């Protein structure tokens, strides 16, 4: 059976699907926006980081250029071959000139730095910092040429540039403290803080960088080498970060910048949360609205439809409870008034039908009584004509007892015992006229007080005598039996008269089930009608007969029939 959805279910399902579609579209829009914003953020961060890396590279290139320019300076070249031209130049003056140039080159840069010249031929060490404590046999022998080296004890970056020309050997060592880079990092304009990282595990932070997070993020980069730029999302401290990295002019050092995505995406997430709350509120309001429609519209309509269905099935006592909806109050009150009026009308009709049935019962009894009376009067007339006064007296007494029984019309139902007494008087009257009937009554004692319609058995006995025993030659037997059948009973009126042919029996059975007719006779038809009306449709009258063997009329009633139609 196909299940029908209620209006409430349909509305809630529609609202849920509608809000689900809106939520899905909004979620797709938010995801697209976040993806676009993340890409734009990556580009923006890389551009800012590249700008910072370019500044770092420019400052370092300027220092490096100063170092290489010193190697080409004539004074430096002359000092490199000083042993060969010492007779031509003043050693001290040349040394002072070179020292002044070193200081000038060092101060020309915005970064704090130290320029140092080493001349292997003379063993001299000239520096822009007169307090430099570098030792040639240690410093220069340990340095890698043309490569920036970070000296952790002094926190300085050192570049060693040797130049072994034809005019003599000279080397330049350029160094600057890491504080220069910290100041550059501190000048970075942005909410995130960049820092430098070396795969060996060394870091350079400014004063505002949260070192713990920076170290964890750098640890996820490992020892990988970055040729161009790197942008990725990683987790640290339970938060997501957008990490941007690129190489610097300092060998193997990377410039890293990280931005908390939660801070960037917080407005979007806040709007998403607000939208989810608004969607949930709309869904709740929709459900409440649908429930109100269900309670105030569908439920009253369903009650009205169910009431009409029950009314159609014959339940005229159905009433609809008053619903709170004012719009349906008039309908329910009108239905209740209509049902009450129809119920009252049907009660009146049923009352009239009952009265009509009672009148019909009286009429049926009146139809039975004259028939029997006519037979008795003709008998008395016949006996009086022949002067049989004893028979006339006996007939008159028996007939008086009979009519005393018949005159009690206050009750339609009588005990079976009284009906059997009436039949005994009836058979006695018949035997007074012609003593040829043997009467046998075999009824269980427990059935003697059974209430049956008045004159239920007498017409059957009369028909048995007139149509069965009378046409028969010789004596005949009339037997009445009564037995308990479960909670019901069965009564039979049996004679051994001439019986009926099969054709006559079939016609009689058909006529008994139809309307009253002259062919069926008043007696048996009336008995069946009264028996069925008193005991219900479960009460049946059956006729069996065989030619030359007699006829049996059976009255059968089960317990349900008695309960359905009480007397």
Q: CB of 51 within 8 A of CB of 82?
A: no
In the predicted model, what is the mean pLDDT of residues 10-30? 79
Out of 278, 301, 335, pick the residue that ends a domain: 278
Strands (E), 189-315: 195-198, 202-204, 230-236, 239-247, 254-260
Q: Residue 561: pLDDT band by 50, 70, 90 thresholds?
A: very low
Both 271 and 372 in a single domain? no
Q: Is residue 208 part of a domain?
A: yes
251-260, 279-288, 484-493, 543-552: least confident range:
279-288
Both 249 and 382 in a single domain? no
Residue in this structure with the two tokens 């206050």, named with its chain if needed: 410
Q: Is residue 392 part of a domain?
A: yes
pLDDT of residue 354: 56
pLDDT of residue 545: 93
Both 120 and 253 in a single domain? yes
pLDDT of residue 566: 43
Both 272 and 355 in a single domain? no
Q: Measured at the alpha carbon of residue 58, what is the angle toward residues 60 and 119, in degrees to the nearest 5?
A: 35
pLDDT of residue 301: 76
Considering 195-209, 230-244, 251-265, 545-559, the range whose residues carry the highest mean pLDDT is 545-559
pLDDT of residue 133: 43
Both 414 and 494 in a single domain? yes
In the predicted model, what is the mean pLDDT of residues 67-96? 82
Instruction: Classify burial at 434, counting beta carbons within 10 Å of its beta carbon; exposed 0-12, middle 13-18, buried 19 or more.
Output: exposed
Q: What is the mean pLDDT of the chain?
A: 79
Coil, helix or strand at residue 186: helix
Q: Is residue 308 part of a domain?
A: no
| 153-169 pLDDT tens trace | 888 888 888 876 655 57
Both 186 and 100 in a single domain? yes
pLDDT of residue 565: 44
pLDDT of residue 520: 46
- The enclosing domain of 397 has a CATH number of 3.30.565.10
Both 367 and 260 in a single domain? no
Instruction: Classify burial at 304, counting beta carbons within 10 Å of its beta carbon; exposed 0-12, middle 13-18, buried 19 or more.
Output: middle
In the predicted model, what is the mean pLDDT of residues 19-45? 79
The pLDDT of residue 192 is above 80: no
In the predicted model, what is the mean pLDDT of residues 295-308? 76
In the predicted model, what is the mean pLDDT of residues 540-555? 93
Both 269 and 359 in a single domain? no
Closest CA to 49 of 183, 245, 231, 334: 245
CA distance 110 to 56: 12
Out of 219, 254, 278, pick the residue that ends a domain: 278
H or E stretch including 477?
A: strand 476-485
Out of 278, 309, 335, pick the residue that ends a domain: 278
CA distance 7 to 399: 77
Give the number of domains in the chain: 2
| 324-376 pLDDT tens trace | 566 667 777 777 788 778 878 877 776 666 565 555 555 555 545 566 677 67
| 377-411 pLDDT tens trace | 877 787 788 887 887 787 788 778 777 776 666 67
Q: Is residue 552 part of a domain?
A: yes
H or E stretch including 546?
A: strand 540-546
**Domain enclosing residue 512, as ranges:** 348-564
Q: Is residue 95 part of a domain?
A: yes
Q: Is residue 91 part of a domain?
A: yes
Q: Residue 442: pLDDT band by 50, 70, 90 thresholds?
A: very high
70-79, 141-150, 548-557: least confident range:
141-150
Q: Residue 519: pLDDT band by 50, 70, 90 thresholds?
A: very low
A 10 A CB-CB count for 80 gives: 24
Q: CB of 479 within 8 A of CB of 505?
A: no
Q: Is residue 419 part of a domain?
A: yes
CA distance 380 to 305: 70
Kindly give the pairing relationship between strand 254-260 and strand 195-198. antiparallel
Q: What percent of the chain has pLDDT over 90?
A: 12
Considering 18-32, 171-185, 188-202, 310-324, the range whose residues carry the highest mean pLDDT is 171-185
pLDDT of residue 494: 95
Both 244 and 384 in a single domain? no
pLDDT of residue 162: 83
Both 234 and 379 in a single domain? no
Both 265 and 363 in a single domain? no
In the predicted model, what is the mean pLDDT of residues 289-304? 74
| 129-142 pLDDT tens trace | 877 644 444 456 66
CA distance 142 to 159: 12
82-96, 199-213, 346-360: least confident range:
346-360
Both 268 and 357 in a single domain? no
Q: Is residue 43 part of a domain?
A: yes
The pLDDT of residue 252 is above 50: yes
CA distance 53 to 59: 10
């Amino acid at each position: 059976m196909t299940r029908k959805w209620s209006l409430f279910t349909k509305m809630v399902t529609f609202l849920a699907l509608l809000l689900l579609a809106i939520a899905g579209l909004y979620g797709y829009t938010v995801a697209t926006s976040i993806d676009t914003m993340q890409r734009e953020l990556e580009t923006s961060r890389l551009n800012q980081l590249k700008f910072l890396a370019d500044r770092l590279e420019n400052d370092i290139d300027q220092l490096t250029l100063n170092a290489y320019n010193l190697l080409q300076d004539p004074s430096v070249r002359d000092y490199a071959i000083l042993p060969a031209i010492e007779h031509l130049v003043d050693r001290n003056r040349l040394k002072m000139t070179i020292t002044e140039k070193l200081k000038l080159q060092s101060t020309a840069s915005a970064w704090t730095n130290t320029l140092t010249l080493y001349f292997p031929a003379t063993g001299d060490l000239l520096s822009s910092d007169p307090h430099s404590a570098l030792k040639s046999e240690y410093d220069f022998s340990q340095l890698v040429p043309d490569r920036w080296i970070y000296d952790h004890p002094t926190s300085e970056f050192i570049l060693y540039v040797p130049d072994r020309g034809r005019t003599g050997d000279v080397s330049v060592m350029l160094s600057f403290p890491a504080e220069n880079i910290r100041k550059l990092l501190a000048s970075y304009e942005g909410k995130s803080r960049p820092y430098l990282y070396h795969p060996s595990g060394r870091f350079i932070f400014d004063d505002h960088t949260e070192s713990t997070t920076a170290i964890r993020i750098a640890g996820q980069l490992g020892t990988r080498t970055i040729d161009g730029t790197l942008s990725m999302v990683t987790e640290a401290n339970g938060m997501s970060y957008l990490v941007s990295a690129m190489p610097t002019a300092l060998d193997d050092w990377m410039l890293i910048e990280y931005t908390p995505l939660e801070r960037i995406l917080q407005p979007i997430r806040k709007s998403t949360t607000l939208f989810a709350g608004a969607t949930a509120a709309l869904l709740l309001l929709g459900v409440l609205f649908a429930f109100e429609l269900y309670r105030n519209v569908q439920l009253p309509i369903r009650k009205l439809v169910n009431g009409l269905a029950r009314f159609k099935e014959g339940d005229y006592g159905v009433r609809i409870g008053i619903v709170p909806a004012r719009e349906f109050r008039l309908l329910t009150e009108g239905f209740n008034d209509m049902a009450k009026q129809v119920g009252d009308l049907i009660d009146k009709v049923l009352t009239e039908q009952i009265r009509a049935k009672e009148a019909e019962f009286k009429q049926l009894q009146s139809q039975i009584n004259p028939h029997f009376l006519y037979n008795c009067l003709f008998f008395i007339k016949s006996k009086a004509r022949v002067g049989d006064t004893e028979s006339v007296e006996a007939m008159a007494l028996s007939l008086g007892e009979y009519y005393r029984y018949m005159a009690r019309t206050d009750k339609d139902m009588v005990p079976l015992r009284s009906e059997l007494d009436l039949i005994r008087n009836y058979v006695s009257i018949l035997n007074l006229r012609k003593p040829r009937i043997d009467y046998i009554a075999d009824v269980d004692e427990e059935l003697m007080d059974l209430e049956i319609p008045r004159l239920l058995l007498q017409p059957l006995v009369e028909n048995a005598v007139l149509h069965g025993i009378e046409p028969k030659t010789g004596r005949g037997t009339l037997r009445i039996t009564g037995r308990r059948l479960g909670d019901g009973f069965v009564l039979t009126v049996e004679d051994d008269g001439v019986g009926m042919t099969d054709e006559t029996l079939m016609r009689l059975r058909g006529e008994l089930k139809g309307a009253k007719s002259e062919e069926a006779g008043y007696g048996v038809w009336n008995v069946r009608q009264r028996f069925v009306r008193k005991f219900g449709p479960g009460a049946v009258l059956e006729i069996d007969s065989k030619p030359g063997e007699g006829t049996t009329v059976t009255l059968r009633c089960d317990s349900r029939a008695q309960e359905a139609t009480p007397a």
